[in-house]
Chains A and B, each alone.
Chain A
Amino acid sequence: MKVAAIFKAVTKNWLRSRSGLFFSFLFPVIFLLVFGSIFGGTGNTSYQLYVQNLDMGSGPPGLSQIFVKALNSTHVLSIKMLDPSVNATSFIRNTTAFFGSEPRVLVIPSGFQQRLLAKENVNLIFISSPADQSAQFVWGIVNDVSFRFEMFLQNSTQLINVTTVSSSYRSLRAVDYYVAGITAAFMMTNGVIGLTSVASEFRRRGFLKRLFSTPVTKTDWIVGNVLSQTVLGILLTGVMIALAIIVYHSSVSINIYTVASIFAGAVLFSGIGMTLAGLVSDPEAASGLGNAVAFPMMFLSGTFWPIDIMPQFLQSIARALPLTYFADSLRDSMLLQNYGAATLNIAITAAFAVFFMFLGSRLTRWGEP
């Protein structure tokens, strides 16, 4: 079978390329490890807070100490005590960390307990560096704890409670989000950058011309390459899922919808790759064009962060990009097991795929002028 011979040869040739392997497998693995680790892949993120209690000496158990315990009980803050004799501002300046964020300090003033019992105003002081991006978040927690503490002292209860419920019956974590996103993004770069430069390199070195003189048809060549991209995509997904399960105890899974989605994605990105390779003949220009298309698409399509957090005009662009639907279809099938949404997104991906495959096969020249 001609297609089988082409599939076998181009897949082997790809897998034996060091740069091909790096960009197809190692690079996405590094991405997943980095993103997974930074953005709370293991779940328990805590923020450090130094507390300087200047209201000691008022007899055990003082209200200030109970307040610190309350802060501690959130589990979001990891509390470290700062000696009352230290100047908090110069402490922050002097301990500016070489690695990690600058410390932030909460000062409980002396007379904290006395004033509270007398129902007088108490002023907590929160000192942080302007460069500390999490300070606002920590301050919000401190505020919430002090509000509850005050209610507790007044024997009052909070009437409004917010219970959070996930729309999925599975609990999703950041790392799950990245497994699908990064897999989608790198399947895209394999097709759009990798295939584009491989195709024009084959042309430049005369390998395609040699194939023109054999019974291999344009269709055989295209199908063989699409199948190769599909298998590479499935391999990549397998590696990413295995990594997510082993390192992050993720609950992602692969099913028939995932495979359908990967196939649609492989056809789509092979189509884009062939379209770009058909537009320019010089391999360097082809690889440049591939990069110019792939990178904006990678960052605008909700692969690394949700589209909702982007400005409105970027959201409109994202909705026009095929990678958005492909990444969603992977997420729907692998994580959310929302098969209705997955089917719709696979259908949209497939529609893009048909379009670019048509364009790509039209632009692929088979034979010399």
Chain B
Amino acid sequence: MMEEVIRVRNLFKKYGNITAVDGISFDVRKGEIFAMLGPNGAGKTTTVEILECVRKPTSGEISVLGEDIGSKEGANRIKRKIGVLPQDFNALGRLTVRENLEFFAGIYDKHLSISELLDMLGLQEKEKERFDKLSGGLQQRVGLAAAFINDPDLVFLDEPTTGLDPEIRRATWHFIREMKARGKTIFLTTHYMEEAEQLSDRIAIIVKGKIAALDTPSNLISSYGGSKSLVFKNAGEAAFGTLRRFFETARMDGNDVILPIENPRDIQIALNALFEMGLNFEMEVKSPNIEYVFLKLTGYRIKETGEVE
């Protein structure tokens, strides 16, 4: 049995008549990257803030790092040992990057070397710049540094790469993996399918305050993702019509035709049918991914902005 760092049982959070978190239960294990994946408004931030002892739950049994979050002393002990990156990180605008990190370092009994963190995040050249003069991406990186400043056992990253360009997003992933390698447990929320799939050991898919599925990415895909598919690029209506005569599951995605492969013989049947028609296309085999799992579980996709499509 692996050591649990977070244990949540029947967590509810209500604001008046609105239920933000609807009775969820899960565990987070030591040393793993645990992702909570879902659209905006699914209850991700509320859950994270309850675990950070920033918000109070309506009901539920929750322990973090072996402490009960309900007790004041427990919450104080938790706060010393966790790191937090909120969704929109903000520091003291007129202080420099280094001064802000010195401030966060000064709050804790122990802290990592500021220079080392600046170095890891590529911030050393910006250390004397005022926080309010930095771009959003750089501000977010300062937030990431602040989240790890106290050498925490457990780190909460609430949408760490939202709004960042792909290059910075990948650099952030690299940093997070490096921190995992140092033994940190990381709890992250995201609405990016790729981020959850690439980064995490386990994913909880959360929809409307409930957990729809929780497992490793590969188990989720094999349970919900279905089979691999053949994709005929730019095949168009004619090819779709032909394949549809043999396979009910064939579908169109833009001008591509997609055929899920339930049986290896299907490939031969499909290719023969298209060949006889004189149709010839570029073709690829596509493995199912988390996006497909999410679609299958919820019936919708999530847009780049985090809204439901």
Contacts and interface: CB of A to CB of B under 8 A. Distances in A.
A2 B91 CA distance: 16
B95 A13 contact: yes
A69 interface: no
B88 interface: yes
A9 B94 CA distance: 10
A2 B95 CA distance: 17
A228 to B, nearest CB: 12
B55 interface: yes
B144 to A, nearest CB: 13
B86 interface: yes
B286 interface: no
B88 to A, nearest CB: 6
Nearest to A18: B94
Given A207-B91, A207-B92, A215-B76, A8 B106 contact: yes
Given A2-B107, A368-B49, A205 B80 contact: no
A16 B94 contact: yes
Contact of A213 (B15, B52, B105): B52
Contact of B90 (A13, A210, A214, A368): A210
Contacts of B49: 368
Given A5-B103, A12-B99, A215-B79, A367 B54 contact: yes
B56 interface: yes
Interface string B33-68: 000000000000000010011111000000000000
Interface string B137-154: 000000000100000000
B84 interface: yes
A1 B109 CA distance: 8
A206 interface: yes
Interface string A228-246: 0000000000000000000
Q: How large is the interface on A (under 10, 10 to 19, 20 to 34, 35 or more residues)?
A: 20 to 34
Contacts of B100: 9
Q: How large is the interface on B (under 10, 10 to 19, 20 to 34, 35 or more residues)?
A: 20 to 34
Which of B76, B79, B99, B107 counts the most chain A CB atoms within 10 A? Answer: B107
Contacts of A12: 92, 94-95, 99
Contacts of B105: 5
A9 B55 contact: no
A268 B89 CA distance: 32
Contact of B54 (A13, A215, A217, A368): A368
Given A2-B106, A2-B107, A367-B55, A213 B90 contact: no
Which of A9, A12, A213 counts the most chain B CB atoms within 10 A? Answer: A213
A210 B89 contact: yes
A362 interface: no
B6 interface: no
Nearest to A1: B106
B95 A209 contact: no
A17 interface: yes
A206 B88 contact: yes
B136 to A, nearest CB: 13
A91 interface: no
B247 interface: no
B93 interface: yes
B92 A213 contact: no
A273 B84 CA distance: 29
A214 B104 contact: yes
Nearest to B89: A210
B246 interface: no
The list of the 10 closest CB pairs from A to B, nearest first, reads A5-B106, A16-B94, A9-B103, A213-B84, A205-B90, A213-B52, A13-B92, A212-B54, A368-B55, A13-B94
Interface of B: 15, 49, 52-56, 76, 79-80, 82, 84, 86, 88-95, 99-100, 102-108, 146, 156
16 contacts: A2-B106, A4-B106, A5-B105, A12-B99, A16-B95, A17-B94, A206-B88, A206-B89, A207-B90, A210-B84, A210-B86, A210-B90, A213-B52, A367-B54, A367-B55, A368-B54
Given A13-B95, A205-B88, A369-B56, 9 more contacts: A1-B106, A5-B105, A9-B106, A12-B94, A12-B95, A206-B88, A207-B91, A212-B53, A213-B53
